[in-house]
Structure 1
Amino acid sequence: MFHQTDVRTLLPGMLPFPTDVFVDDQPWLAAHLLPLLSIDLGVLRPELAGTVATMLCPIEPYEGCIGDETTEHHNAFTGSNWIAFELTGDNRMRFLGNAGYFIGDQVDDTDAVEHIAEMRESYAKAHAYFQAHGRLASYSRYGDGEPGEQAYLDTLGGQISGGNWTETAEIPPAFEISLDPSMYDRDRPEDAENVRITRDGKPFFAVAEVAGYNWCAAGADAIVMLYEPDSRTVLFSYDWT
């Protein structure tokens, strides 16, 4: 099983700040999600070579979890702290939820408006730094205003990790999750499965994790990205440690 941590060198099939990520009939996604890194899944499973999914960082929320304020727009594929996409045949991301799931610029809160602007600005600065230097640097709100070089990913491949993201909010109905109660037992085998997530009985596998603030001003402590090959579903959740 391929497993790498602190990924600071781009592997074949990885592209930071990709464009043309979203399907044409959902152009509004670009207002809510920042494309961080496209990943050819063949690096994890050779049979998936040419299947390219994109790590996405939501611009919201300012507080709480994404989707907390828009429960009336949740569906079988989205909920608080969970969003899902279908990966099309040409490797573009189709959101499986409703447009109303995202608050975006309609938010009525001065601090949240400033947060949205800061996320976009810091992402643009990080993109410019990459173009100039060929490395990733974050303009985190927790820093001194200067760019701090970061890993592209904190984890690539491996087992689906345990974390509070598995229990922060109920998983949407299209998916099932089971947790090994002994996942934090020091005596467990290293290759034991901590978390199992399925769609129609077919298991997801771990693609990658990264802190939102590796790329942007702020964000989750871990954006968790999973993939199920048969349905070509990309599933995201967020760990707030």
Structure 2
Amino acid sequence: MFHQTDIRTLRPGLTPFPTDVFTADQPWLARHLLPLISIDLGVLRPALTGTIATMLCPIEPDEGCIGEETAAHHTEFTGTNWIAFELTADNRMRFLGEEGYFLGDQVADKHVTEMTESYAKAHAYFQSHGRLASYSRYGDGSAGEQAYLDALGGQVSNGNWVETAPIPAAFALTFTAAAYDRHAPEDAERVIISRDGNPFFSVAEVAGYNWCAAGPDAIVMLYEPHSRTVLFSFDWS
């Protein structure tokens, strides 16, 4: 199983700041989600070479969990702290939810500006230096070089995100015996997430503030090949 941590050198198949990420019929997604890095899933599973999914950072919320205040717009694929996408044949991300899931204009302008401007600065730094640097609100305002990804591949992690909010109805989440065994090997499978009985595998994790002014402590990205579903949850440690 491929597993690498603290990704600071780009390997083939990893493309920061990708463009044309979302489907043409959902242009509004660009107002809510920042495309961080596209990942050719062949890096993790050779049979999936050419299948390219994109790590996304939500701009909202400033406090709390995404989707927490928009329950009326939750679907079987989206809920508090959970969002899902279909990966189209041409590797675009199609949101499996409603536009009303996002708070949009209800988010403070100051926060939106801080997120989008810090992302733009990080992009400019990458273009000039070939490395990722964050302009985090937790720093001194200067560029601080960061890992593109905190983890690539490996087992599905067992962090706060698995218990922050119930998983949407289209998916199932179960814990293995290793989740309750403190003597289990570090690389033992502890969490299984599936859709229609088909398991997801771990694609990558990264802190939102590696790329932007703020964000989750870990953006967790999973993929299920049969349905081409990309599932995200967010860890707030």
TM-score normalised according to structure 2 size: 0.98
Pair 1:128 & 2:124 matched:
yes
Distance in 2 between residues matched to 1:182 and 1:228, nearest whole Å: 22
Q: Which letter maps to 2:65?
A: C
Deviation per CA, 1:97-121, whole angstroms, max 9, x where unpaired?
A: 00100011233xxxx3211110000
The question of whether the paired residues in 1 share the 8 Å contact of 2:172 and 2:193 is answered with: yes
Shift of 1:63: 0.8
Pair 1:16 & 2:12 matched:
no
Distance in 2 between residues matched to 1:129 and 1:185, nearest whole Å: 44
Compute the RMSD of aligned alpha carbons.
1.0
Q: Which runs of 5+ in 1 are unaligned?
A: none
With over 3 angstroms needed to count, the CA separation of the structure-2 counterparts of 1:95 and 1:146, relative to structure 1, is same
Distance in 1 between residues matched to 2:177 and 2:123, nearest whole Å: 41
Shift of 1:24: 0.2
Report the equivalent of 2:198: 202
Aligned runs of 1:67-216 on 2, under 5 Å? Answer: 67-107=67-107, 112-180=108-176, 182-183=178-179, 185-216=181-212
The question of whether the paired residues in 1 share the 8 Å contact of 2:193 and 2:199 is answered with: yes
Deviation per CA, 1:56-93, whole angstroms, max 9, x where unpaired?
A: 00000111000001000000000000000000000000
Distance in 2 between residues matched to 1:147 and 1:185, nearest whole Å: 41
Distance in 1 between residues matched to 2:35 and 2:181, nearest whole Å: 36
Q: Which letter maps to 2:96?
A: L
Report the equivalent of 1:65: 65
The question of whether the paired residues in 1 share the 8 Å contact of 2:178 and 2:188 is answered with: no
The question of whether the paired residues in 1 share the 8 Å contact of 2:178 and 2:189 is answered with: no
Shift of 1:179: 1.6
Report the equivalent of 1:5: 5
Q: Which letter maps to 2:220?
A: V
The question of whether the paired residues in 1 share the 8 Å contact of 2:4 and 2:151 is answered with: yes
TM-score normalised according to structure 1 size: 0.96
